[in-house]
Chains A and B, each alone.
Chain A
Amino acid sequence: MNTKPIHRTKWFWGWQDDKEEAWLQEMARQGLHLKSPGLGSYTFTQGEPREMVYRLDFLNDAKNRASYLQLFQDAGWEHVGELSGWHYWRKARSGTENDEIFTDADSKIQKYRRLINYLLVTLPIYIPMYIVVINRKTGIIETIVLVAMLLILALYGFFFIKLQQRINQLKTQSLCSKEE
């Protein structure tokens, strides 16, 4: 059997985790099993086509990392990889409630909140940039920095709006039905 790793390029935004899970499951159906996730590029190993469940969780908590991983493994999930706080979990599809890592809307909302908090914490990283802009003369470098900063802020804003929409969607779901 060909065991050479296969690379695929694909981009998903943080609020598109459902789509990413579905795509990874489709890859598994074609015999491509995730080996390691990368930023916009995924490495797969070729094997038998299988019905798998992929689930993504976001957790940026170094202190509880070991017990977090152990809990999921106890529940039968395989940790495929981690990418800037995103944890990739998988197991063979059983067609039962055991195929879900989140069993209510509240905990899914919590996941997106963790992501929002993480993004908020990373915002001050751009402080040097702000300082350059605040002390702005009208040089070419200052203009470039200003444009870059505005782009980053716009991207952050877009991210927050999209994540908030996802949270609102889940809140409506939890009012309509307790189980999803």
Chain B
Amino acid sequence: MLTQKELNKYLPLSETTFYAMLSLTQPMHGYAIMQNVDQVSQGFVHIGPGTIYGILSTLETQGLIRVDGEEERRKYYRLTEKGRQVLREQIRRLEVMAENGRQMIPALEADMK
């Protein structure tokens, strides 16, 4: 297990990196990740090929993902154990954020009146 301090080095993930990593619980190649993110994020996040290429090489260097086979010139990537832990911690933080936000909704709406 990574310590909190080690996890913090990688956090917070950008929205783009978050969705890219979320796709890699199963082996996937670059273009499939782009399509998956479009769909899963309900169109909120779109990643171009230059951007996904950069993200994948950074994540690979950081050891958060690894190459999991190559087929017809397409590289398949997958989360490493370290990547899983980082992603899990990010989700935990997002839950805290969402919960904090939710509690403030009445106050936000009261101000609007």
A residues sitting closer than 8 Å to B (CB atoms) are 55, 57, 59, 64, 66-72, 74-75, 77, 97-98, 100-104, 106-107, 110-111
CA distance A93 to B55 in the complex (A): 25
With A67-B70, A69-B73 known as contacts, the answer to whether A107 contacts B57 (CB < 8 A) is no
> How many inter-chain contacts with C-beta < 8 Å in the A-B complex?
68
Cβ contacts under 8 Å, A66 to chain B: 73
B residues sitting closer than 8 Å to A (CB atoms) are 14, 16, 29-31, 34, 46-55, 57-58, 70, 72-75
**In whole Å, how far is A168's beta carbon from the nearest beta carbon of chain B?**
19
Contact of A77 with B73 in the complex, beta carbons under 8 Å: no
Contact of B54 with A72 in the complex, beta carbons under 8 Å: no
CA distance A74 to B73 in the complex (A): 11
B16's partner among A69, A72, A75, A104 (CB-CB below 8 A) is A104
B48's partner among A67, A74, A75 (CB-CB below 8 A) is A75
With A67-B74, A107-B55 known as contacts, the answer to whether A74 contacts B31 (CB < 8 A) is yes
CA distance A55 to B30 in the complex (A): 19
CA distance A41 to B44 in the complex (A): 41
CA distance A70 to B71 in the complex (A): 11
Contact of B34 with A104 in the complex, beta carbons under 8 Å: no
